[in-house]
Amino acid sequence: MTVSLEQLRRCHIAVDLGAARTRVFVKGAGLVVDEPSVAAMNTRTGALIAVGALAEQMTGRTPDYIRVVRPVSGGTVVDIEMAQRMLRHLLGDKLRRQLRRKPRLRAAASTPHDSDPLAQRAAVETLIGLGARRVELVDTLIAAAVGCGLPVEQPTANMIMVCGAATTQVAVLSLGSIVTAQRIPVGGNAIDHAVIQHLRHQHDLLLPSQSVRPLQLALSDEGLTARGPSTTEIHGRDVATGVARSVLVNTAAVRDAIYSPLTAVLDGIGKVLRDCPPDLVADLADGGITMVGGSALMPGLDQMLRNATGMPVAIAERPDICAVLGLGAMLEGKIQPMVLNPLAVVR
């Protein structure tokens, strides 16, 4: 079956369930939810203690009877019941009452490219549990391309790279459909893990998981392109003694640790280009790659891609919310009718 723009215009709400953040767009109200996909639960009573940013702050800081969970992994719902409870709390009572007044509530959701039917069904069941009578699924690559303003309906090549927390998706689009695409199981979480392992093995230092992203930002673009300071002071816990201590870390070594997992991403880009028709590859010499997703903001990543591919690389204006903005544009009828004719949907 195919999903058309007419079907999407009938939807009242759009949801982008990501491994890092959950975003909800309501027709007529805009983006109403943009919170981390995290929930904290009391294991003794089963009660939900916190969701979103507050639950994320609890990570690694809770007593034994409080468990912090992530019901979404790699854009796929792994715990339907917890995902429903998290969404209910994020929406709030007032907004849920407004949605319940809709006689036949329709919802749209973005799903990763080439996701299996079980993952698609999990996304559908999650939104049905919130009261949706019908759910339309749109490929994340198409939604992100629309959200960042690429002319996907034109007969020219547009290359997009969706940098997520758990996966990276790369595709070439033309005439509103995906010509060739790759989904790579490397994302922001793998980069964070590489930094943590580097500090553990080279400096015997345990770094809190919530300190990895601030560390990357502290290094800045200049630090990651070898033009900034050669060392940076890092605070953590000694592996052997457990005592808090500080070490001077070589920024070049951190840069190498960050880029090591990204070789798989470069391989995926190469495969997409090899599978793409030559005429479309010629178009990419001018348009290049457009990066979206939260991990697209990682310092130095765009420069690394320029050096590796020799192609222009641009970061979208608001890369972290491009997918949900694209879904919202479809709901509000801001897209040309020919854009979404070939998209597959599961209901």
* Phi, psi of 25, deg, nearest 5: -115, 125
pTM of the predicted protein model: 0.86
- For position 72, what pLDDT does the model report? 92
Burial class (CB in 10 A: 0-12, 13-18, 19+), 116: exposed
Condensed to tens digits (0 to 9), the pLDDT of residues 234-248 reads 788 888 888 988 888
Query: Has residue 11 got a pLDDT over 90?
Result: yes
Q: What one-letter code names the amino acid at 252?
A: A
Write the pLDDT tens digit of every residue in 21-42. Answer: 999 999 989 999 999 999 999 9
Check whether 220 has a pLDDT greater than 80.
no
pLDDT above 70 for 338: no
Residue 299 confidence (pLDDT): 73
What is the rounded CA–CA span in Å between residue 82 and residue 36? Answer: 14
Which architecture characterizes domain 5-144+323-331 according to CATH? 2-Layer Sandwich (3.30)
Please state the rounded mean pLDDT for residues 212-240.
64
CATH code that applies to domain 154-315: 3.30.420.40
Domain with CATH 3.30.420.40 in the chain: 5-144+323-331, 154-315
* Cβ-contact 140, 169 below 8 angstroms: yes
E-assigned strand segments in the chain: 13-17, 21-26, 30-36, 39-42, 48-51, 66-69, 72-73, 76-77, 106-111, 134-139, 158-163, 168-174, 177-184, 205-206, 231-238, 244-250, 289-292, 313-315
Average pLDDT over residues 47-57: 93
